[in-house]
Each structure stands twice: as C-alpha cells, then as structure tokens.
Structure 1
Amino acid sequence: MRPRSLPLRLADLAQALPRLLRTIRCSLITKLAIVSGVALMFFFFLWSSLNINAMKTLTTEATMSDMNRLGNTINLGLHYAMLTYAPETIREIIKSIGTQQGILSIRVYNKKGQIKYSNQLSEIDEITDIKEEACYVCHRTAPPQVHLALRERTRFFTDESGHPCIGILRPIENEPSCVNDACHVHPADKKILGLLDITVSQAANEATLASYTERNFLAALAVAGGTFLVLFLFTHLLVNRPVRTMIRATRAIAAGHTFRGVDLRQADEMGELGRAIDAMGREVLSKQAELVRQKNRYQDLFEHVPCTITVQDKNLRLISYNQAFADEFHVHPGQYCYKAYKGREEPCTNCPVIRTFDDGLPHANEEITLDRDGCKRTFFVSTSPMTDESGKVTSVMEISLDISESKFLEEELERSRMKYQAIFSCIPTALFVLSLDDLTILECNSRPQTLYGYEPGELLGTPFLALFDEPDIAPFEAAIRAERPIDRVRHRRKNGQHFFAAIRVSTAAFPGSQVYLASVTDITNRLETEQQLIQASKMATLGEMSTSVAHELNQPMTVIQTISDLLVRKVRKGQCVDQATLTEMAEGIGRHIARATGIINHMREFGRKADRHVAAVDLGAVFHRTFELFSQQLKLRNITVAFDIPEGLPPVAAQANPLEQVFMNLLLNARDAVDECYGPNSRPGDKRIAIAAGLETTGERQFVTASIADNGSGIAPEVLGRIFEPFFTTKEVGKGTGLGLSISYGIIKDYGGDIVAAAGPEGGARFTIRLPVWQEPGVTRD
C-alpha cells in the first residue's frame, strides 16, 4: 500500500502546487506574511549571528586576558626560582600549573629556541625552528622585536583532535638582578632572556559557545515566529478582513447587487478607505438606481413614443424595434426593412439608412407610401448612426413619424392662407401690417398702390408715420399704440397731394411676433359731402334765424334812426346842439353801427365753409358768441338762460365755426322744446335753459365738458337711441330736416369727442359734449 500511495501524494502535491502559487500571487495577506516572515527571520538571524560573533570575540578576549594574567603569574612564580637557580622548583611550578583544566602546555624557551622547562617532559631540551609560528612572531624582523602587543603575541590554532586552541607568548626580560648576580652570566645588553609559551584548549569554551549559539538561534526563531504570528494576526484583522469586506462590497457594486454598506470601525487609513468606499458605494448605488430609472424611462419612451423606431444592420435587416413598429407592421427580427415598410423586394431609392452607412452622418427625408387599405400616408424619416468603440458604424437607428394628418393640415392651411391672402389683397381698404416697436410697414395689400401711388414693395420697411401730413404726429402715434380709432387725419400721396383718411388699428398675430393691423380708408369724399350737408344745415339754420337776426339788426338801426331824426329837427329849427349831446349821439351811432356790423360779420362767418384744420378753441367764448345771436329772441320768448362756465378752462382741440353750429343746433332744439312744452302763454321764469362747462380727467387725458339742458318735455326713451341718426326728427313736418343732431354728432366725433343725450335735472333733455383738451405740438399735458 505504501509504494502505491506515495506517487498519489506526489501527484496531489503537483496539482496543489499551482493553486498554492496562484493563491500566493493573488493574496495580499500571503505576500505580506511571506515578506514580513522572511524579513523577520533574516533580521533576527542576523542579530543572532552578530550576537554570537560578539560573544565569541568577548570570550576570546577574556581568555586572552586570563592567559596573559596567568603568564604574568607564572613569570612571577618562576622569577625567584630562576634567581636562585632552583630548576626543580621551576619544574614543580610548571607541572602544578599545567595540571589545571584546559591548559595544554606551558613551555619556557631560552634564547636559542630550546625548551628548558615544560609540563610535558618529553619536550624538554627540544630545539624549535625559529621560523615556527611561536618564534616567528618576534623573529620575523632583524633584529627580533622586543615589545609586542597582546594581540600580536597571541596565536590561534587547532590541535590534533580538531579543537581550537590559543597560545600566548610572554617574553622573559633581562633584569638588573640577573646581570649583577654572580650565578648568572647574562650580559646587560641582552633584553630578552627567553619566552614563556602557554597554550590553552578552547574546547570547553567552544562547547559553551555552541550551546549558547543553539539557544540564541532557537530564541531568535521563537521570537521571529511569535512576531510573525502577531503580525499575521494583526494584518489579518486590520488589513485582510477589511480588504475582503471592501472587495465584497465593490464586487457587489460592480455586479449591481444590493449594497449593504462597509462598516469598518477603525480610525486609521483603512477605516478612511472603508468609509470612502462606503460613501462611493452609496453614491454609486444612488446613481445606479437613477440609471435604472433613466433606463426604464427611456425604454418606456422607446416603446411608447408616437412614432416607429427600428435599428437596422448593414444589410437593412431589423435588429430591434419598438412596440409601435411591431403593432403597425407585424414584423419579426431579421426581416428586411423595405419588405416590412413597403412590401418591396429591393431597397428603396435614396434610402437614408444606406446613406448613413456610407457617410456616417444623420439624414432625413419624407417618404410617401400606401397603407394596407390603399390610402396614401406620409412619413418623416430620420436616421442616426450607431457606432462601436472604434467609431465604426455597426447599425443605424431609423425613426419614422407619421405626418399624414399634419401634411393634410399643412395643405389645408396653405389653401386657407392663399384664400385669406386673396381676401387681404382684394379688400377695398388699405391694410398695413406694422411692427410693434417702430411702426415699420412689414406687409400691405395692393390697395395702397391706388390710394397712395406707391408700389407695394416701395412701402415695405418704411415708417407708417411717414405717410402722415400733419405738423404733429405724436398724438396719432399714441392713438395707434393705444389702438384708438383715428377718425380723421391728413395723409400725403406719392405725388405730394393730400387726402383725409380714417384709421382703425388692432393687434394681430404675425409669424414670429405680435403686430399692429392698420386699416386706412379714404374719407375725403365723405368729408366733402358732410361739409355740403353742414353748409346746407347752416343755410337752413340761417333761414330759421332770419327773424331773430332781423330783430337784432332792427334795434341798432332804430337807435340810429332816432338820433338822425333828432339832428334833422334841430337843423330845421336852426337850433344848435351842445357839444356834450353831440358827442353822446356820435358815440351811440358808432356803438350801434359796430353792433350791427358784428352781427352781419358773424352771420357771414357762420355761413362760410370751415377748413379742416384743428386748433385751440375757447369753448366759453364760442358759447357766448352763439348766444349773442339768440339773446334778444330768447328774451322775447321769456326764456331764461343760466350760464355756469368757470374762468380759466383750457382750450379744446376743435374749430370754432363748426362748434358754433353745434351749439346753435342745440340751443334751437332747447328753444323749440320749451316753447312746445309751455306754449305762448307762459309766465316769466317757466322756460329755462342751463348752459354749463367743466373739466374732467380720464386716465392720463383731460377733457372739457359742456352741457345744454332745458326743462321741456324731454326725449321719449324709445327714440333716445335714434336721435343722432340722419333725417330722424320728432318735430312736425316742415319744422325740421333731421340733420342738425346728426351733423353735430359727426362734428364732435371728428374732434375726438363725444356727445350724449339724457334726461335733464328738471325733467327736460340734456345734451353733454366732451372734447379733448388742446395740446401744443410736441407737448404732453399731465
């Protein structure tokens, strides 16, 4: 059995050896253990060697010192015997000392090298070769050396049994007692008389040193082994186990498994590393969870995006696709894309996937195909390359978006755009698209060509305000930006002629921004017609006022006639008129002639056509001038007129002549209303007309308000909404044209004001006029 098991054990050992070497190569703790163990053994054995060598040196030096003292002792013991020449005594001394343990020989040489005394009797009288080691120490120079150090006098050799020995030579020096004594014949010039040679065996010391060496090496081995075990244990606890823990944690992180943290309760670098790995693991775990969420989200997006996505290889085979593509085309992986999309047997012409494989760039185009029902469908197709680590395109992602409905809507939108473009171009008013920033003309229809004389392309990019022919265009710009209607403004044509226009502005959506849409209408003909109506109305009013005007003129003429008759009578009688009376008469004639002239000029000015230029007008002054034409007539009819017009009212933006016509129409209507209500038998104070004015502020604008109220029968509620309509009147046939209030409404609106009718405070009617305060050009009124 044993011969068979031995090869098996060797085979097992041969198989286990590579695993052991791999374990050593791949295990940090094993490497640290081996390196630290070898280092400890080396240093401990080095320490032991040095210690043993030091021990040897100390032992040798101690032996040499002892032998030197022994030599001195023997020399002192032989000194007296030699002086008394007692050979037997010398032999006994040497013999007695030579019997001590460890002493091999004690010899006394004379100067000729002859052994005179020795503890070994067989050596007495032998002559030693002077070149032997014992003698050669001194005789290697001529003359021989007298004084040598202990180290030079010591020799080391091995005896026949192989034990180490030490020999020490001590010179026997010549002394005065040896020279002067009668028994001696040594001359005084002899320094050395002989040598004392002592040899000692080192066998006992060698045994002791061997035992010490053995114990020392055993102790070193035990200390090294213990230290190695302690280091191994601490390395395992403080390094290997934490490293294993961190390795398991990092492998769990790498494998995507649950990370349970690294709990190293150490305050050293390994603990810092463990806490760093723990923080890193938790951060990686968080990032990994985020990546998983992102992956799931993108996978969900990939599967549920409202378009088809495929990944194709270089042969146009389907590698993968999303759920929308699978539901739409019912394909399987590996099928050709052109077969799946269009049922073709060959690739499409100008295929974007092939182009992406060729140049590595994204491509996009629109493709039209027929679905299973034969309906035309339009797809927007885009491709993107997918590369490997070397940058080579290995596959292409193709995204197809069904834009059939969008294409249909786009075509419908284009048809709608063309339709509205035709309407925009053919609308009878001039339309301008203006920028919000500087009112630059961005677009216009064809109407400005006939209205202004410009080609449409000439107006694009020019300021819209450049078409205005007004001294101050700031109010009109403010009106445009506030989207307020401009009822009348003067514009200039390309040839320099001007015309009057009405402008309406509103904001509209334009591609990329908001714009103003301005509609310009030529109202020149309408204004001329209105002027004719106004003039006709003036003439009618003058005809209606003829009686009142005649009465107004009759009063100053009567005064003048009376003064004239008085002067004629005085002249016929030959009477002289005193200077004071004559002066008074002349001044009276002048005043009444001036009054008559003023009435005639007022009527002439009232009947004249007014221009269209707006200026600053004092509303109170217009009221008083208008009232002068009616003052006597109203007085004769017992109509009381009360004025409440404060001083210092700001002027309004209007024209005096048309305003006078408005006030005249309102006064005539108030007169007729109170006359109709109270009749000719009224008492004084029954018929009343109140004229008032004031100032009001709306937002940032100021207005002057004027009202004319009467205590007549008032306006019926059912006709209140129609009183400003042309040719509408509540008077009897032949007493009114129905144009007075309509013309008054148009005049006030032309000046940017308002006129409203309501019930009066005394039960009659009250008409209120509201006109904007005049602003000097370039001046903004707070």
Structure 2
Amino acid sequence: IIIVDRETFGILDVNATALGCYGYSKDEFLKMSFADLGTKFDQEVLEGLETISSNQSEFYSRKLYRKKDRTSFYVNLHVSAVMFMGRDCLIVVTPDVSESVEKETQLIQASKMATLGTMASGIAHEISQPLNVIQVASDFLAKTVKQNAEINRDDVYTAAGQIGKNVQRAAQTIKHMKDFVRKSDVKGDKIDINDPIRDIFKILGQQLKVHGIGVDLDLAEDLPPVFADHNRLEQVFMNLVTNARDALDENGQRGEKDSKMLRISSFLEDGLVVVTVSDNGTGMTEDVKDKVFEPFFTTKKPGEGTGLGMSISYGIVAGYNGTITVDSEAERGTTFRLTFPAAS
C-alpha cells in the first residue's frame, strides 16, 4: 500500500509489504514521486490520478513497474481518493501479478501453436504456390541454356522477375508465421485495428477459399488507433475466424443451401473502435452462448479443440480495456462484437 499526495504525487507513506516488494527503504520512498516507480511515463494513469474524485476508486490492469534493483514486474493498480492526516491523498494498492501474466502468455503461446497445427494445409499452399512458379521459371531458363537456343532477353527478364516476385511472396509468408508465433508483448502500443484483421488472411485466406467460404471485409479507413499488441489481437481474430469457419462447415455438412459467408466490419461508434465478426453458420443455443468464454468449454469433438481459444481472447481484449460480446441464434449464425477505447 502506497499513500500519495494528490497534488504533488509525492509518496507520503508505505506499508511493510511495499518495502519488501520494491526494495526501497522508507526514507527512500518518502523522497520519491509515485511516477518514479513506473518503467515509463503512463499518460492513462496520470490523467486518472488527476481527475479521480473524492471517495471514488479506479483500477488499472497490468502496469509495468520497477524495483530498486531495476527488475521490472507487472502490477494491478487499485486507486482510491481519501483524506489522510488532513491532506487530499490517494491510496494506491499495487499487487504483483507477474506470475498470472506469465501464465497467460504461456496459454496464448500454446493456443497459437494449436492454431498453426489446424492451419497447416493452408500454410503449405501459401508456400508451395510460389515455389511452383519458381520451379517453372527456373526449368525454362535451364532448358533454354541446355538446348543452346537463342535467348530472348524479354523472356529471360520475365522469368527472372517471376522468380524474384515469388521468392518475396514465400519470404513474406514465412516472416508472417515467425511474427505470429513469437512471444507477444503484454504492454502493447498504438495500432490500427485493421492491420491484425488483414494479416490473418495471409494465413487463412487460401484455406477459407478451399472451404468455399466467402469473405466480406468492410473495414473503415482513418480509424483512430487503439492501444494493444498487434500479435495478440491477431490471435483473437484468428480464434474468431477459425470458429466461424468450423460453424460454416458444420452448416454445409447439414446440407444448408445458403452460401457460406464470413463478414468482418470495423467502424467508430460513440468514441469507441468497434469490430464485428459475423457468420451465417450453425449459431449457438442459449446454453452454449452463456458458456462460450469459459476456459476449457468446447462443442468440438475430443482432440479437435482445447476449449481455451475464446477464454484467452476474452482475457486479451479485457486486458486492453476492451469488451467482447456474442449475439447468436441456433441455425441463424453468430456475431462477435469487440470494442476498444480510442488511444489518446
């Protein structure tokens, strides 16, 4: 527990737990500003501390703070405005949540690897297609040289161009895969919400075509940025799209005649950046809808799903002060709605 002067943000008092957690002596604490404990200037927290009203409380999730020995760790901030010894003060409780953050990161990594396993055929196509073009172009060049045929400069230039273009395409696919599986950043940054949406189709685009699923992207341009991690949001949209694919496939197996459609929209509404992911698949019963964000809940057959994808997605979105809700009706389809505050 840390007691902070409301006007100067100077530290007025701390309890024994804070001394042990941060490693400073009480005298050292009393010479510091509360802002000195953070790893960097946090505009969101500063503005919240300045505007919090009397007898009001605020909560800030997973902020990176630093101990005296310069070790960084994650804390949740619970802030309350009170009077202390006749002064307008803030009581700040900073429990260490580093262990839970690390466990969440491990779950996200496990979910990514499970996703890659199911996407293997689509990834193979994305790499084999440019390799086929390279093979044809190189065979043409080798055959021309072997037969001592007259070399047409335009033909050679075209073949070389195709080789270079498809090497770049394969390299970009591989790079994107490496970026996707890397350990993502909890802290995040200002990003365009449309970027992770577009990026998932670098992996899933071909697979959705093979499954006969039409894709309608209606992404608003010039949206304000949101504060999140690109890699983590890509995992969220990957989970939503793969679930939609499975629901659409199940509808196809039941002989539904409507074309299978996946629609993703992004737009600004009441100052929030909103994304909707909709499909006209099997939909959910009320019972399934009530449990969809619970850990280990799945409607898939044993061995086909971990039941972690949606609970992980919920945690990721909530960690960036966002919301995710579901609207679904059995046999009619499903829409997930995500909202994020615009980054200042």
Q: TM-score, normalised by structure 1?
A: 0.41
Question: Take 1:756 and 1:765, find their aligned partners in 2: how far apart are those partners?
Answer: 11
Indicate conservation of the 8 Å contact 1:760/1:766, yes or no.
no
> Is 1:712 matched with 2:281?
yes
Corresponding letter in the other structure for 1:454: Y
Q: How does 1:617-636 map to 2 (within 5 A)?
A: 617-636=191-210
Alignment partner of 2:218 out of 639, 644, 659 = 644
Corresponding letter in the other structure for 1:688: M
State the SS of the aligned residue for 2:100. Answer: helix
Question: 1:696 matched to which residue of 2?
Answer: 269
| Structure 2, unpaired ranges of 5+ | none
Pairs aligned (count): 339
Question: 1:354 matched to which residue of 2?
Answer: none
> Is 1:608 matched with 2:161?
no
Alignment partner of 2:94 out of 520, 538, 558 = 520
Question: Take 2:276 and 2:80, find their aligned partners in 1: how far apart are those partners?
Answer: 33
Corresponding letter in the other structure for 1:476: V
Indicate conservation of the 8 Å contact 1:727/1:737, yes or no.
yes
Indicate conservation of the 8 Å contact 1:724/1:741, yes or no.
yes
> Is 1:673 matched with 2:242?
no
Q: How does 1:191-340 map to 2 (within 5 A)?
A: none
Question: Take 2:331 and 2:145, find their aligned partners in 1: how far apart are those partners?
Answer: 58
Question: 1:441 matched to which residue of 2?
Answer: 11
Question: Take 2:274 and 2:267, find their aligned partners in 1: how far apart are those partners?
Answer: 5
CA displacement at 1:515 relative to structure 2: 4.3
Indicate conservation of the 8 Å contact 1:570/1:577, yes or no.
yes
Relative to structure 1, the CA distance from residue 452 to residue 484 in structure 2 (aligned partners, 3 Å threshold; closer, same or farther) is: same
> Is 1:452 matched with 2:26?
no
Indicate conservation of the 8 Å contact 2:65/2:72, yes or no.
yes
Indicate conservation of the 8 Å contact 1:490/1:500, yes or no.
yes
CA displacement at 1:548 relative to structure 2: 0.9
Indicate conservation of the 8 Å contact 2:21/2:67, yes or no.
yes
CA displacement at 1:723 relative to structure 2: 1.9
Alignment partner of 2:47 out of 455, 475, 478 = 478
Question: Take 1:680 and 1:563, find their aligned partners in 2: how far apart are those partners?
Answer: 44
Identity of aligned residues (%): 37
> Is 1:751 matched with 2:324?
no
Question: Take 2:283 and 2:82, find their aligned partners in 1: how far apart are those partners?
Answer: 45
Indicate conservation of the 8 Å contact 1:693/1:705, yes or no.
yes
State the SS of the aligned residue for 2:214. Answer: strand
Question: 1:724 matched to which residue of 2?
Answer: 293
State the SS of the aligned residue for 1:434. Answer: strand
Indicate conservation of the 8 Å contact 2:272/2:342, yes or no.
yes
State the SS of the aligned residue for 1:640. Answer: strand
Indicate conservation of the 8 Å contact 2:188/2:230, yes or no.
no
Q: How does 1:390-429 map to 2 (within 5 A)?
A: none
| Structure 1, unpaired ranges of 5+ | 1-430, 776-782
Question: Take 2:295 and 2:85, find their aligned partners in 1: how far apart are those partners?
Answer: 43
Relative to structure 1, the CA distance from residue 473 to residue 621 in structure 2 (aligned partners, 3 Å threshold; closer, same or farther) is: closer
Question: Take 1:682 and 1:721, find their aligned partners in 2: how far apart are those partners?
Answer: 25
User: Which is greater in Rg?
Assistant: 1
Alignment partner of 1:553 out of 127, 142, 167 = 127
Question: Take 2:95 and 2:72, find their aligned partners in 1: how far apart are those partners?
Answer: 13
CA displacement at 1:512 relative to structure 2: 4.4
Question: Take 1:459 and 1:506, find their aligned partners in 2: how far apart are those partners?
Answer: 19
Question: Take 2:13 and 2:176, find their aligned partners in 1: how far apart are those partners?
Answer: 50
Question: Take 2:120 and 2:15, find their aligned partners in 1: how far apart are those partners?
Answer: 52
Indicate conservation of the 8 Å contact 1:615/1:774, yes or no.
no
CA displacement at 1:760 relative to structure 2: 7.4
State the SS of the aligned residue for 1:630. Answer: helix
Indicate conservation of the 8 Å contact 1:479/1:485, yes or no.
no
Indicate conservation of the 8 Å contact 2:265/2:277, yes or no.
yes
Corresponding letter in the other structure for 2:232: P
Relative to structure 1, the CA distance from residue 677 to residue 476 in structure 2 (aligned partners, 3 Å threshold; closer, same or farther) is: same
Relative to structure 1, the CA distance from residue 577 to residue 630 in structure 2 (aligned partners, 3 Å threshold; closer, same or farther) is: farther
Corresponding letter in the other structure for 1:728: F
State the SS of the aligned residue for 1:674. Answer: helix
State the SS of the aligned residue for 1:704. Answer: strand
Indicate conservation of the 8 Å contact 2:283/2:331, yes or no.
no
Indicate conservation of the 8 Å contact 2:215/2:263, yes or no.
yes
Question: 1:537 matched to which residue of 2?
Answer: 111
Higher relative contact order (CA 8 A, sep 6+): 2
Relative to structure 1, the CA distance from residue 671 to residue 527 in structure 2 (aligned partners, 3 Å threshold; closer, same or farther) is: same
Alignment partner of 1:563 out of 137, 148, 157 = 137
Indicate conservation of the 8 Å contact 1:440/1:464, yes or no.
yes
Relative to structure 1, the CA distance from residue 493 to residue 590 in structure 2 (aligned partners, 3 Å threshold; closer, same or farther) is: same
Corresponding letter in the other structure for 2:295: P
State the SS of the aligned residue for 2:217. Answer: strand
Question: 2:333 matched to which residue of 1?
Answer: 764
Relative to structure 1, the CA distance from residue 453 to residue 662 in structure 2 (aligned partners, 3 Å threshold; closer, same or farther) is: same
Question: 2:163 matched to which residue of 1?
Answer: 589
Question: 1:494 matched to which residue of 2?
Answer: 68
Question: Take 2:58 and 2:66, find their aligned partners in 1: how far apart are those partners?
Answer: 21
